[in-house]
Amino acid sequence: MTGLLTDLYQLTMAAGYFEAGKAQQIASFELFFRHLPRYRNYVLSAGLEQVVEYLTNLRFTEEEVSYLRSLP
């Protein structure tokens, strides 16, 4: 699976943490929304196993790295 299945902002932030020497630190993230949809009293979250699998197997090919390095 390609590592480019994310937006450039996320990759830019990851690069910033790497440059700050935080590559070996444990990180966390959160998923949130501002308001429940109208007439809804709960939220169901699904697909978390697939998210963890994606992040665990996230890799970049040499071609993808070259492309990212070519960006301003």
For the chain, what percent of residues have pLDDT higher than 70? 100
Q: Is the pTM of this model over 0.85?
A: no
| For range 36-59, the mean pLDDT | 86
Start-to-end C-alpha separation, the chain: 25
Across the chain, mean pLDDT equals 87
Tell which residue, 10, 18, 13, 4, has the closest CA to residue 54: 4
pLDDT class of 27 with cuts at 50, 70, 90: confident
Inform me whether the pLDDT recorded for 46 exceeds 80. yes
Tell which residue, 14, 12, 41, 33, has the closest CA to residue 25: 14
